[in-house]
Structure 1
Amino acid sequence: MSQHFRPPAIPLVTVDPYFSVWSTADCLTDQHPTHWTNKRSSMTGLIRIDGQTRRFMGMTELAEGSDFQEPDALKQTNLEVTATSSKYRFEGDGIRLEVDFTTPLLLDDLELLSRPASYVTFRTQSIDGKSHDVNIYLDVTGEWCVNTPDQKIVWSRKAIGDGIDALRMGSEQQPVLQRVGDDVRIDWGFMYLAASKSESTRTAIQSYRLRNHFIESGHVSLPDDEHMPRAVEDDTPVMAVQFDFGAVNETMQSEYAVLAYDDIHSIEYFNQPLKAYWRRNGTSFEDMLAAAFSQYDEIIGKCEEFDRELRQESEDAGGSQYADILSLAYRQAISAHKLVVDENAEILFLSKECFSNGCIGTVDVSYPSIPLFLRYNSELVKGMMRPIFRYAASEQWPYEFAPHDVGCYPVANGQVYGENKLEYQMPIEECGNMLIMAAAVCLSEQNADFAEKHWELLTKWANYLIENGLDPNNQLCTDDFAGHLAHNANLSVKAIIGIGAYAILCRMLGKTEEMSRYSDTAKEMATQWIAMDEASDHYKLTFDSSEDTWSMKYNLVWDNLFGLGLFSGDVMAKEIPYYLAKQNRYGTPLDSRNTYTKSDWLVWCASMAPSKEDFAKMIAPLWYSLHESPSRVPLTDWYDTVTGKQIGFQNRTVVGGFYIQLLSPF
């Protein structure tokens, strides 16, 4: 890399939309870690070296305005963010400390992917040729298991098998699946901190002032707090573990802890509570946690191998800056989903539309995210689509076009967007999305059985696009923050490619006559589109707008990937130079109406560039937007290209779309 990458936020524990904690500072000691919603989820790390205590994570004091003197921070010397891990390195007082946060979201292993267990690994060694006495302290607060700190919690400890000491905390009331919304945190189930039992490992559940006790004494040797239930904000309880490394020399020594969350039930799906995928065969939480410990070495090895392979592949595809972006996006794109199975044991992979409206299973959030999942496990794309097919086929859905969502996370009982009023729907958008996604997953698997199972709906939606898609009326598209727009040229592209996608499915199912009819229709519509939208050196925002308007035609990417050939190569040959000419410091705006952009669409357009050099030119401003943005939040996909500031949205799954450059034509 030409210069070290500074992510706007660093994933620490990223399992699902509730179990998701980040660092939003340059150094891990600059502030408390936070939930992706920016609410504090304190986690503190202390190291005692030869009787002197230093901080390596978070802060000790919770009370704002306190004059408490924080222990000095151990100097952070490096940070590396890989696909599955965030790796910090610190040095001081004669030792080196490495702290790795690993969530093993390996897409080819759904059992592991859904396991709500994340690792914190500590490695330390002497770097001055001397032996040093080292103790490490880690804790998490009750903030991790409530929505607001005035809620009361209870706690306990449990021995799992002969070798695991597990501490747990959870809300007193346990309102399972009762809290619905966007800017909320889980307040049911139990948060765990677990470590292997040994003579050198100690655990405690106490007031957060246990941190001060360790600073002064080097031990967590206090009895467990018995004053419960109590509100999290009342002398905040923590679960803590201490690792006594003893005399540390030049040989690297390591220990690890597991942070885990038992959510009991994960999703309400058409009025039925569903458990997480890993529980589908009756596995208990204790057995899952025991497996996380017994498989530690194997899992870490697999993660490291995957991280290396992805890094190499992404550098080959788009350069080092592109590789940085993909590594940062990986865990976010996956962990804003929840993996469950329905009553037929079919996979459901349900997203949360984070800091947008909290919808669950949103079609136009799934659509931009699918490149990552097509690359590594297309079954998960089916898992995104099944809830929409089920709802659209029910009597609950009154329209002839595809729905937008199936509820508000974590309750998937039917669409909530726009109160289901017709004027707030996205008819062309969602029909096109579902058809393109269906073709993509069937081509990926070289099998169209999935489409055939839902053929009646797909046919209805393809016909809807033929009737309404060429020149869309005044309606919303996925970029709904920009408002309603009539005669939207990019939305028309989606409709045309959606019809072409349906023709592909017809071909795969041996429906030759239908294939020809829909293919010919798509070609005719594309020809009309070019005539209606062409300006001198680019294509316009809308068919009826002036020639100085423009927009990123990101939907055209599927014409390339599907090999449809609906739009002549001249279209993108004009568009890419135009996008480059319109670039600001942090990228090309979404369209001529504003200076903001959508990063997923920017990458899709870059992937259509005629050369690797042009791809890199379009990607570099995105890299700098992440590296320099003053908005310290999990990846936002909606930001200003002049200032680099977040406009809205964060932690959304759409960043899976960044992986589109890794897809080969189908």
Structure 2
Amino acid sequence: MHFRERKRVIYSILLLTFCFSVARSQQVTLRAPAYPLVTIDPYTSAWAFSDNLYDDVVRHWTGKPHSLIGVIRVDGTSYRFLGKVEPPLSMIAPTAAIEKWSGKYTFEKPEDGWNTLSYNDAKWKTGSAAFGTKDMPYLKTKWETKDIWVRREVSISKENIDDELYIEYSHDDNFELYVNGVKIVDTGFAWKSNVRVLLPEEARKTLRPGKNIIAAHCHNARGGAYVDFGLFKRTPNVELFDKAASQKSVSISATQTFYEFECGDVDLKVKFISPLLPDDLNLLSRPVNYITYEVVSKDNKSHDVEVYFEALPEWAVHSQQQPVEAQQLDAGNLVLLKTGTRAQNILGRKGDDVRIDWGYFYLGGEKSQENTFAIGDYAIRNDFVKNGSVTSNGGGKETPVLSYVQKLGKVDDKSKTGKLLIGYDDLYSIQYFGKNLQAWWKENGKYNITDAFQQALKDYKMVTEKCAVFDNNLLNAATKSGGKEYAALCVLAFRQAIAAHKLVRGKNNEVLFLSKENFSNGSVATVDVTYPSAPLFLIYNPTLLKGMLNPIFYYSESGKWKKPFPAHDVGTYPIANGQTYGEDMPVEESGNMLILTAAIAVAEGNANYASEHWKVLTVWAEYLRSKGFDPGNQLCTDDFAGHIARNANLSVKAILGLASYARVAGMLGKQDVEKEYHALAKEMAEKWINLAKDDDHFSLTFENPGTWSQKYNLVWDKILEYDIFPKSVAQKEIDYYLTKQNKYGLPLDSRRSYTKSDWIIWTATLSDDAKTFEKFISPLYDYVTETPSRGPLSDWHETLDGTVINFRARSVVGGYFIKLLADQPLNKLSVNP
């Protein structure tokens, strides 16, 4: 059955399912590296990094606390079921992200003892942090050699010596950190930002009142370079919710996360709902999530129950030291608690590992006699523990507590329920080629955040039913396509893939769906991030994929980008004024844009979108015709692996990019062009086989026997039915890959044992039978459920031990849906079948 015909069948099934559905989602139970709780966009994205919801603080995807506390009071006894109270850190020696600091540095290898207190650094230069290469955040001192050594004098008071002390550091790449000569960090090859570690006992013993030395050595293996570090202390605990509930279960669906707890004599169910439904752009963009709860007696007796939720301004700051304010608002049938920074430097902060510090965070609930709201200091917690109620107390000016309580009254064997709303108004979302743009849902200022919350409350029943229908259809289709483990991976990936984007309107009301390259380099609208994430959006709404490509088309067609191939990106999130990545990927991005444009045409059954961009598509096709088959020494999407010439997999992309140009030409009635470029692609494929052949497989690079790589780009030949490469090519590769798997998956290529999880699923989709596909998926599922690295899904991990190397919360996990796209693409109500 052809791609589009399959979609007609699925569309009819979806309509029938929607008509007869009930609002109950099927759920997947798995140990996730992190569980999605509140997922709105790249800035408002909060997760549970622990198995039990109360074992850790709720965290932003970057790992920074986004405190959200939930407590239930049963017959006077309080049980904490959500989050953990973690008093904020205060500065002893700030990082450059907070304020500029100075230290001594050298680019020449120093003598032994350079990291100790007694070392004489008089000959070293003095410079301000951060140290690094161009375009790095908070950069003050350029570092462009391979190595740097930095010494920082830190004064510690007698009172702070015995406090709980933490080192925070950011680095790129290999990083060693010492306190008074004691090594406390040795990262190996990695680059990370704002990592926080408790100072170990060995280092604590060296501390003394007054002068201490924190010293670092960093080696730049490739690409950018960066060094920053600081010292912080934990403030003493205030009143805590010490008694935890007992978690019975956690499970997920595509748009929801479900928890069940035992809290003394009652059972509690809590549900986090992110209505990221791709067919409804206003709903997808609306920055409001739901948290619902249901309480029932365990022993059929009646119990007095109150439910408490609390949030801190951490949701609206980059760092905890920023001054904030808070207020309570009445909004018709709603009460909203609002907090944000005093400075409100709109769109003033860009980069990778950053949190939003403009706009306002909101915690809201229905106005009723049972619900109370308060803003104050930590004494609010004492009020709830003692009385089951809260009252604003005028305190908490530096760290106001936003709290909500519902008195459920007597709870017996008939359950009682409640809900609250949580959201964020970023005021302006993206700067797009000099113009500040608002989120899509605002309709250029027609609606405000109060409207959004009121509409979310009004739509609650309808939205939750739509979420349940969507969740069930996704799970059933993915299970049928790839089995239960594959379906679980898709379910876990769904919210992450969508929430790594921001939906805004262009000046002509066009869709702009802009990705943020999380824990990679912070680029916005990166083409080779769009490419792997595309399958999810081709299935559920190609309009969103157009919104991902539109900035790249505009950049070239406006004349702002003058090269004969697409840009890598259009900026550093959220500033989209032009490419900021330091190097081009000519063949990579040309092939990506051509393939995805053709895929949109096939998905929609017409080439109207391609017709709008035919001129620049032709420029890119000509570039591939000239330069694509045998690529020079350039980067591909796997840029972390470094430059490589004659890349066989990149050549596949170029060939299929030309085949895609041919397909679009044929759909536009340009039969001569279609014939010419299809024949060219076929001819290149024959040459490719001869140059890449290596006995029982095909090599990493042309004429380089003894090497191999995943040829994941071949999957489009299968999905789009080009018939460019003989089927035997993919089969030979699949057979060979099965001999190269490690415990946690198939390595990316013969150079290293790390891998990319999205590419594994693309490679597995080349197989023609379920059993073979599952042989690739099972080790990947084990990685996701066993990795010791906690946080949202990382697409880059070590196949030997399952540890994450870097990357986190990226949209590329939308690529997990490639098998579903190949087998039975789900339709979306917004696209006519």
Task: Give the Å deviation of 1:217.
Answer: 2.8
Whole-angstrom CA distance in 2 between matches of 1:164 and 1:210:
21
Are residues 383 and 72 of structure 1, via their aligned partners in 2, closer, same or farther at CA, if it must alter by over 3 Å? same
Query: Shift in Å at residue 653 of structure 1?
Result: 0.2
Residue in 2 aligned with 1:508? Answer: 667
CA RMSD across the alignment: 1.5
> Which residue in the other structure is 2:634 paired with?
475
| Contact 2:380-2:392 at 8 Å conserved across structures | no
Question: Does 1:164 find its partner at 2:334?
Answer: yes
Distance 1:322 1:66 in 2: 46
For 1:171-221, what per-residue CA distance to the aligned partner results, in whole angstroms no more than 9, with x for missing partners? 10111111111111100111000000111111111123422332233221x
Counterpart in the other structure of 2:409: 246
- Alignment of 1:392 with 2:556, yes or no, is yes
Alpha-carbon separation, structure 1, partners of 2:86 and 2:44: 23
Task: Find 2:67's aligned residue among 37, 42, 56.
Answer: 42
Supply the distance in 2 between the matched residues of 1:187 and 1:651 (Cα, whole angstroms): 20
Task: Say if 2:400 is the partner of 1:225.
Answer: no
Asked if 1:612 corresponds to 2:770, the answer is: yes
| Cα gap change, 1:107 to 1:69, in 2 (>3 Å) | closer
Amino acid at match of 1:18: Y
1:15 aligns with 2:40: yes
1:366-406 deviation per Cα after TM superposition (whole angstroms, max 9, x unaligned): 00001000000000010001100111123332311111000
AA matched with 1:259 = I
Describe the superposition over 1:312-369 as per-residue Cα deviations: whole angstroms up to 9, x where unpaired: 1111111111111111100000000000111111100000000100000000000000
Matches for 1:529-544 after TM superposition, within 5 Å: 529-544=688-703
> Residue 489 of structure 1 aligns with which residue?
648
When normalised by structure 1's length, the TM-score is 0.96
Corresponding letter in the other structure for 2:288: A
Kept after mapping to 1: 8 A contact 2:712/2:762: yes
Q: Which residue of the partner structure matches residue 521 of structure 1?
A: 680
- The answer as to whether partners of 2:633 and 2:644 remain within 8 angstroms in 1 is yes
The alpha carbon displacement at 1:81 in A equals: 1.1
For each residue in 1:628-647, what CA deviation from the matched residue of structure 2 results, as whole angstroms up to 9, or x when unmatched?
00000110000000110001
In structure 2, the residue corresponding to 1:464 is in which secondary structure? helix
**Aligned residue identity for 2:555:** Y
Q: What corresponds to 1:641 in structure 2?
A: 799
Amino acid at match of 2:490: L
Secondary structure of the equivalent of 1:581? coil
Aligned residue type for 2:606? N
Task: Note the residue ranges of structure 2 that are not aligned, 5 or more in a row.
Answer: 1-25, 89-233, 826-833
- Superposed, 1:177-192 pairs within 5 Å as 177-192=347-362
Is the contact between residue 262 and residue 285 of structure 1 (CA under 8 Å) also seen in structure 2?
A: yes
- Aligned match of 2:581: 417
1:130 aligns with 2:338: no
**1:343, 1:159 → 2: CA distance?**
34
Q: Secondary structure of the equivalent of 2:725?
A: coil
What is the match of residue 257 of structure 2?
A: 86
Structure 1 runs of 4+ aligned residues shifted over 3 Å read: 63-70
Letter of the 1:205 partner, please give it: I
Structure 1: state its 5+ residue gaps.
231-235, 419-423
Aligned residue identity for 1:378 = P
1:575-586 map, 5 Å: 575-586=733-744
Task: Quote how far apart the aligned CAs of 1:242 are.
Answer: 0.5
How does the TM-score come out when normalised to structure 2? 0.77
Shift of 1:284: 2.0
Alignment partner, residue 84 of structure 2: 59
CA distance in 1, matches of 2:393, 2:625: 67
Q: Distance in 2 between matches of 1:511 and 1:176?
A: 48
Q: Tell whether the 8 Å contact from 1:60 to 1:211 is kept in structure 2 after alignment.
A: no
Q: Which residue of 1 aligns with 2:821?
A: 663
Equivalent of 1:215, from 385, 391, 407? 385
The whole-number CA distance in structure 2 between the counterparts of 1:190 and 1:153 is: 10
Conserved in 1, the CA contact under 8 Å of 2:377 and 2:395?
Answer: no
Q: 2:78–2:241: 8 Å Cα contact kept in structure 1? A: no
Determine helix, strand or coil for the equivalent of 1:316: helix
**Aligned mates of 1:270, 1:85 — CA distance in 2:** 35
Whether the 8 Å CA contact 1:141–1:208 is kept in 2: the answer is: no
Give identity over the alignment, percent.
47
Q: 2:435 aligns with which of 245, 248, 272?
A: 272
Structure 2 residue corresponding to 1:457, chosen from 616, 638, 642: 616
2:57 aligned to which of 32, 55, 75: 32
**Any conservation in 2 of the 1:61–1:70 contact (CA below 8 Å)?**
no
Deviation at 1:451, TM superposition (A): 0.8
Matches within 5 A, 1:114-129: 114-129=285-300
What residue is the counterpart of 1:233 in the other structure? Answer: none
Question: 1:165, CA displacement in angstroms?
Answer: 0.7
Match runs of 1:251-650 below 5 Å? 251-280=414-443, 282-418=446-582, 424-546=583-705, 548-650=706-808
Separation in structure 2 between the aligned mates of residue 84 and residue 466 of structure 1, nearest angstrom: 43
Point out the structure with max Rg over C-alpha: 2
Mark the CA change 1:343 to 1:4 in structure 2 (over 3 Å): closer, same or farther: closer
Could you say which structure has the higher helix fraction?
1
Instruction: Find the residue that maps to 1:138 and give its secondary structure.
Output: strand
Deviation readout 1:128-158 (Å, 9 max, x if unpaired): 1211111110011010001111111111111
- Once the two structures are TM-superposed, the CA of residue 69 in structure 1 deviates from its matched residue by 6.3
- Report Cα offsets for 1:231-264 as digits up to 9, x if no partner: xxxxx21211001111111112110000011111
For 1:549, what is the secondary structure of its paired residue? Answer: coil
Q: Deviations over 1:529-587 (max 9, x none)?
A: 001101111111001322x2110000000000111111101111111121121111100
1:594 corresponds to which letter in structure 2? R
| Aligned-partner SS, 2:694 | coil
- Native 8 Å contact 1:6 1:628 kept in 2: yes
For residues 717 and 70 of structure 2, the distance between their equivalents in structure 1, rounded to whole angstroms, comes to: 50
CA separation in 1, counterparts of 2:562 and 2:681? 27
Q: Which residue is equivalent to 2:366?
A: 196
